[in-house]
Structure 1
Amino acid sequence: MHRPARAAVLSAGSWGTAAAKILADAGTSVIVHARRNEIADAINATHRNPAYFPDVELPPSLTATTDPAAALDGADYLVLSIPAQALRDSLAVWTPHIGPDTVVVSLMKGIERDTGLRASEVIAEVTGVSAVRIAVLSGPNLAREIMAAQPAAATVACPDEAVARCFQQACHTSYFRPYTSTDVIGCELGGAIKNVIALAVGIASGMGMGDNAAAMLITRGLAETIRLATALGARPATLAGLSGLGDLVATCTSPLSRNRTFGAHLGQGMTMAEATAATRQTTEGVKSATAILELARVHGVEMPITEVMATLLHEKISLTEAATALMQRPPKPEH
């Protein structure tokens, strides 16, 4: 009899906890790595994460530790759910404990500042793990809904389709349906850029704009996502799927979306510092907007929404100037 797959999940944040629950519900043996003793102790003693979901009971098979070596001992999968800008330093600590056959799965939706690297590229560079052992899970996955076992789906992307299928099996439950793909670039860029577009949609909502404005930003945001992703080698069909359009719609329209919420705070007149304090959790779009814009410039891709957002987030233009900049661009054919 085969033993169940084993997964180490770093870390015990909102999406990390939700992903750990999915894996455990799918029959995978899961150890969550928590930075704080009190979180690990609470998960082990009460089967709850008091910092994020104190009202949701976790599967009894899901355990926690603050020891990365213990978490990774015998792990088939290392599942990474941490802020994109913290990935490099975290991996430096974890790499000595990664087994020779462990598959590294990224749940991150950001681009590293200074380098412009996607999460899978940072993983490969820091750990030396081959690209065929690095996978990405991306899709319209709002953690609160998943913790309530509401229906959701996502894409598992890996250059090696067999690896993608194995992780697909490890996280397939009655409420969570994963699909497979080999288009890692498309999945990662869809997940990263949608956060920036969601900030713009949130700002428009906060300023009192209606559904027409939201639909315009979502549609044109998808257009610039496709332009950059395909310039980097992604397939257009990926961006029409779960990790592209699906994730974009959920993140731009849901009140559970931290990027949309952050944007709404700005649209209502909060400063960057006030919006950061009010949102509390990491808002990847704020961190990645400039890196995405630089990537676009390197590849000669026009991304007007991303450009306006990067400028606004650096407080170089006002909300009114941002709206004017987008609406007064020269008219042109849609495609």
Structure 2
Amino acid sequence: MFEQVLTALIGSVDTIMVTNIGLAAISAVSLADSLNILIINIFAAMATGGANICAQYLESNQKGKANQALKQLIFSVTLISLIITIPFILFRRPLLSLIFGSEKNVMDNSLNYLFITVLSYPFIALYNADAASFRTSQNSRLPMVIALGSNILNILENFFFVFTLSLGVAQAALSTLLSRIISALIILILLKQPKQNLYIDSCLSLWPEIETITKILKISIPTGIENGMVQFRKLVIPLYLQWEQQPLPVQAMVSMLESFACQASIGIGLGMMTVVGKCVGAKEYEQARQYTISLTKLA
């Protein structure tokens, strides 16, 4: 749960840091980050859904297959993230115009911020796949610590770029991009330690296996779409506000705070997939049902 809150906090920090620039900057960063949170939630769910296959292999004492499935998960989510990144870059103007209108100052800032942060999508996907593998290995603390370090680094970079150099919205996005790249590389390096239940021996041996990828995508794609729908509905609100000529900065700030409201239940949901996957791998179906009920009540 804390990891999900920390992940969502990165974009919110950017919004807070640009408050001294003006209302257009606040609207631009917060509204563009609504798209980013949508993608982050989808990647997190996809990665955890795919890690469910790894959990099943681990609990059925097939460690070799579990590690091979992890490689296919990393390959799959990274490829999907690249496929998403390209059209988001090429068509970001019509996409932003459709959702947020065409007010010039907001649009210019949004285009700059979104272009830079979209470049972080493959690293977000890679981080989530690696973090899901650590959670499957019952080490959820490490991804949380890395997320915390990423936030601290992002805040320090924002202070330097935005306040010290007075470089504005684009540089707030640059600090977010750098912190996400660093956190993805760190967790990938840590995942190469063979003492863990799940690890990858070499990044150069990530070749596709259609059968395993199909198993992963059957779980991860529906899970990712479902997890993204809550955030997708929130994207309709700015469209309504521009029709009614209501102030976007108000909605932008409230949306930033609201994004944290569902993070606890999302965190429990991601943990539930790992727990249930282990029960299924051990053929403890009644236990899987009981955990599903109790964790749903907790959420």
Mark yes or no: TM-score above 0.5.
Answer: no
Task: Tell me the TM-score normalized by structure 1.
Answer: 0.27
Looking at both structures, which has the greater relative contact order when contacts are Cα pairs under 8 Å and sequence separation is at least 6? 2
When normalised by structure 2's length, the TM-score is 0.29
Higher helix proportion, which one?
2
